[in-house]
Structure 1
Amino acid sequence: MNTAISPDSEIVIATRESRLALWQAEHVQARLQALGHSVRLLGMTTKGDQILDRSLSKVGGKGLFVKELEVALEEGRADIAVHSLKDVPMELPEGFVLACVMEREDPRDAFVSPNYAALDFLPQGATVGTSSLRRQVLLQAQRPDLRIAPLRGNLDTRLRKLDEGHYDAIVLAAAGLKRLGLEERIRCAFEADEMLPAAGQGALGIEVRADRADLIAALAPLAHEPTWLGVAAERAVSRSMGGSCSMPLAAHGIWQGDELFLRAAWGDLEGQLALVQVDEHATVTTLAEAEALGEAVAQQLRASGARMGLSS
């Protein structure tokens, strides 16, 4: 099988049309062009971008952000799709693979507020915006008095709603703010022991059809192995728990030498059960070892009282 991209062929990137998604696609475009490839973007609007009046967990999960892009790959209108990895379902449809995971940006959550410097400074009963069930349970574990209100829309829309006074503060991924040059909006970043990140947070994944060996080879120079192994372990936790965006689950790995220290947390949305947290570590040099670590952490979560979710 020919695994090389022909010199006169063009690589088409399917991307959502939000400002952040376009930044991510343009970043991949620039990296591929630096390697000598001809690359153009195919902008698309997904159902996840269109349905803003309901939480993702009630309308089909984060897979709504990637389905139309996958259809474009399947039909041959595009060659690759660039995703925020935390938006990618834990199980890809048959015939699709993650061909590349790029080096991670800051994986932390960011506290954003026009009036308050940090979570501790919010007054009793303050309103914090997020549509992440993970963030909801982690925030409520620290501040049960807070009112957690739904917050949908792209990054600019969320910031506008905050500035219009709908919320006292909102919590966003630090990576998105940094990529768009909005780092000054971050009042403080939560350390992992305060707000454990979502699986894959801060990393970009590139999806292709499994039969495109030429593209898989072309994307290999963009891959960052430590990030790929780390997010594979994190995603294995979620997959083993039946994870979807309807599950309040966090998983985050940190490297120390060739050992990956993996932490996970599960919370009860009803507030009846205490937050379940698990730490485990192992020497990880392959995707299989990374996934085995993630599965072991998920098993410990379940043994400690965490409940399985429904896959999406």
Structure 2
Amino acid sequence: MSKIIRIGTRDSELALWQATTVQQKIEALGFDATLIPIKSTGDQVLDKPLYELGITGIFTKTLDVALLKGQIDIAVHSMKDVPTQLPKGIVQTAVLERAVTSDILVHKGSEFLESEKPATIATGSLRRKAQWLHKYPHHKVVDLRGNVNSRLLKLIENDWSGAIFAHAGLERIKLLPKDAISLDWMIPAPAQGAMLIVALEKDEFSKDVTQKLNHHNSEITTTIEREFLRTLEGGCTAPIGALATIKDESINFIGTVFSLDGKQKIDIKKNVPVQSAKGFGEQCAKDVLNKGGAKLMESIRNENSTLH
């Protein structure tokens, strides 16, 4: 009898949707799997912005510990929440086929976008905040934390004009409003829209099973984006966006870093053949650092240290 693969997941509706999707795919391969929901630190501490908590992997650390303790066999994550450096003994086994990567604005009427009047937008992301202020410097951006459901509720309860979400997250749990506006000008978080499976390096059974779920092109593009992030030394403490896409055996990449107030911006657009994917994200990041990104990242670090 083959063993039952225990799938560790956060206990939010979206996380459970993702883990259930993985469970169904594993069972479709002929293996048994069960869900083990675990509450993460990121879901428990909601009174501070993420960047003020100063912890990498705030949504993934609890699952990492459960994995290392042998309480679960694999963990399923929103890939954009996962630190670019996995803990020792834990390995990436699969990136599922990526969903839509864009951000969207959920709003209470979009007229304010055409006006010069002040408006308030909510988001817990430094990347979204900086890009929004870059485009709408006369707006105010307030912090918004919690799972997707609670963030939507907070938007209803407050006098904000709108809030920014990942398109994929709302679509997955069928909460995407018909009038939501796609922010196609906003560069997404590295690996946004992708789901990641990790397992213990020594667990050959779980690795073999889950590797069958890997989507090759999604793995290539998210690897490039996360390499870009890691080389810039980003994490969730800097407004960094990155998107790699594959078309006709060519990789198109756009990456950006903003100052915290959104006033400064350094970006890069490049394309290479698919066979040149290795190290491409790192090279793009080095180009950004050489274009003034190193100085900008230093000022962001200094600003963050005074905030803390």
**TM-score calculated relative to the size of structure 1:** 0.91
- Displacement of 1:183: 2.2
- Given that 2:239 and 2:259 are in contact with CA atoms closer than 8 Å, whether structure 1 keeps it comes out as yes
Partner of 2:59: 65
List, as ranges, runs of 4+ consecutive aligned residues in structure 1 with deviation greater than 4 Å: none
1:13 aligns with 2:29: no
Aligned-partner SS, 1:105:
coil
Partner of 2:199: 208
Whole-angstrom CA distance in 1 between matches of 2:268 and 2:64: 34
Between 1:55-64 and 1:81-90, the stretch displaced more is: 55-64
- Displacement of 1:60: 2.9
In structure 1, list runs of 5 or more residues that go unmatched: 1-6
Q: Which amino acid aligns with 2:84?
A: M
Distance 1:24 1:122, change over 3 A: farther
Deviations 1:15-62 (CA, angstroms, capped at 9, x unpaired): 000000000000100111111111111111111100001011111345
Partner of 1:90: 84
Distance 1:160 1:140, change over 3 A: same
Structural mapping, 1:154-233, within 5 Å: 154-184=147-177, 187-191=180-184, 194-233=185-224
- Given that 1:61 and 1:244 are in contact with CA atoms closer than 8 Å, whether structure 2 keeps it comes out as no
Whole-angstrom CA distance in 1 between matches of 2:135 and 2:297: 23
- Given that 2:116 and 2:138 are in contact with CA atoms closer than 8 Å, whether structure 1 keeps it comes out as no
Partner of 1:301: 288
1:29 aligns with 2:23: yes
Distance 1:122 1:45, change over 3 A: farther
- Displacement of 1:284: 2.3
- Given that 2:246 and 2:274 are in contact with CA atoms closer than 8 Å, whether structure 1 keeps it comes out as no
Distance 1:92 1:39, change over 3 A: same
Aligned-partner SS, 1:227:
helix
1:46 aligns with 2:40: yes
- Given that 2:93 and 2:197 are in contact with CA atoms closer than 8 Å, whether structure 1 keeps it comes out as yes
- Given that 1:48 and 1:62 are in contact with CA atoms closer than 8 Å, whether structure 2 keeps it comes out as no
- Given that 2:221 and 2:244 are in contact with CA atoms closer than 8 Å, whether structure 1 keeps it comes out as yes
- Displacement of 1:96: 0.9
Partner of 1:256: 247
Between 1:24-33 and 1:301-310, the stretch displaced more is: 301-310
Deviations 1:170-202 (CA, angstroms, capped at 9, x unpaired): 0000000000011225521111xx100110000
- Given that 2:189 and 2:241 are in contact with CA atoms closer than 8 Å, whether structure 1 keeps it comes out as yes
- Given that 1:127 and 1:146 are in contact with CA atoms closer than 8 Å, whether structure 2 keeps it comes out as yes
Whole-angstrom CA distance in 2 between matches of 1:36 and 1:301: 46
Structural mapping, 1:105-124, within 5 Å: 105-116=99-110, 120-121=113-114, 124=117
Partner of 2:305: none
CA RMSD of aligned residues (A): 1.6
Aligned length: 297
Aligned-partner SS, 2:292:
coil
Q: Which amino acid aligns with 1:283?
A: P
Whole-angstrom CA distance in 2 between matches of 1:166 and 1:38: 47
- Displacement of 1:93: 1.0
Aligned-partner SS, 1:252:
strand
Identity %: 33
Whole-angstrom CA distance in 2 between matches of 1:232 and 1:44: 27
Partner of 2:120: 127
- Given that 2:133 and 2:261 are in contact with CA atoms closer than 8 Å, whether structure 1 keeps it comes out as no
